[in-house]
Structure 1
Amino acid sequence: MTVSGIISALVVGLIIGALGRLVLPGKQSIPIWLTILVGIVAAVIGTFIANALGVGDTGGIDWIELLIQIALAAGGVSLAAGVYTRKRVS
């Protein structure tokens, strides 16, 4: 993977992770690195799901793919917040 590929993966992960946090109500007590990690994973899995459904490459902005990625990021952030805060309290 090239340096530009790594940087773009971090940027996409940050954006998708942040959007995932925005759609969740309340405050999530997880660090930014975990948000980025969840965002990257959600972006990759969301792309695979969108391609499997046949909506991944429309030639323009892939709104359905983006919605899938944000929904996965919201679920991932919610799960990570629950596990991370429970682990820190124990």
Structure 2
Amino acid sequence: MSSGSIIAILVSGFFTGGLARFAVPGPDPMPIWLTVAIGLTGSIIGAVIGNALTDDNGFVISFLSFGIAIALVIAYRRFVQKRPAFGAGALEFPERGLGVGQQRERLQKLGIDVNALGERLRPDPKHVERARLETMLQELHHAGVLDDEELAAKRAALDDRL
């Protein structure tokens, strides 16, 4: 196997692992070699299962490879980092795992509070509710249910309420 083939395989593993990390919400500080390993492992397992199920269908193999790489990222997060893959806890910076300590130190040297990262990523419930109600008022105005004066009155009432 040529060195060009090896580099192409490693780059492919890096992209697959990186996309899998991107698909799961929240920070995942891990070394590049682990990203490549997750991508390569997902690709190999996906190719074996895809070939067995579909007789060499590239579309199925690609999606299985990507799905298995995502499952590996979720498993790493659950069993190594001991945190959820989805929900509020997923947005918090991990406390354990490969490369987490070094990443925490780098961010703290830059003046970033890693413990507050998850809080910054969570939207404020009042802001979300206001945006939802504002959108509903705009839709009613565009549909002709509310005229300009009624829209202004409803917005003022919304300001008083929230």
Query: What TM-score do the two structures reach when normalised by structure 2?
Result: 0.46
- Of the structure 1 ranges 71-80 and 34-43, higher mean CA displacement relative to structure 2 is found in 71-80
Please give the alpha-carbon distance, in whole angstroms, between the structure 2 residues aligned to 1:37 and 1:67: 18
Q: Partner of 1:54 in structure 2? A: 54
Post-superposition, which runs of at least 4 consecutive aligned residues in structure 1 deviate over 4 A? 86-89
CA drift of 1:66 comes to 1.3
Q: Partner of 1:4 in structure 2? A: 4
Please give the alpha-carbon distance, in whole angstroms, between the structure 1 residues aligned to 2:39 and 2:53: 21
Any idea what SS the aligned residue of 2:29 has?
coil
Change over 3 Å in CA distance of 1:13–1:86 after alignment to 2: closer
Q: Partner of 1:15 in structure 2? A: 15
CA drift of 1:11 comes to 1.2
Please give the alpha-carbon distance, in whole angstroms, between the structure 1 residues aligned to 2:56 and 2:67: 15
Change over 3 Å in CA distance of 1:31–1:86 after alignment to 2: closer
Counterpart AA for 2:63: L
RCO comparison, higher one (Cα < 8 Å, 6+): 1
Higher radius of gyration, 1 or 2 = 2
Q: Partner of 2:64 in structure 1? A: 68
Q: How many residues align?
A: 85
* Unpaired runs of at least 5, structure 2: 82-95, 102-162
* Unpaired runs of at least 5, structure 1: none
Give the root-mean-square deviation of aligned CA atoms.
2.1
Q: Partner of 2:27 in structure 1? A: 27
Please give the alpha-carbon distance, in whole angstroms, between the structure 1 residues aligned to 2:55 and 2:25: 28
Q: Deviations over 1:38-59 (max 9, x none)?
A: 10111111111110012534xx
Q: Conserved in 1, the CA contact under 8 Å of 2:54 and 2:60?
A: no
CA drift of 1:13 comes to 0.2
Please give the alpha-carbon distance, in whole angstroms, between the structure 1 residues aligned to 2:6 and 2:97: 31
Query: What TM-score do the two structures reach when normalised by structure 1?
Result: 0.78
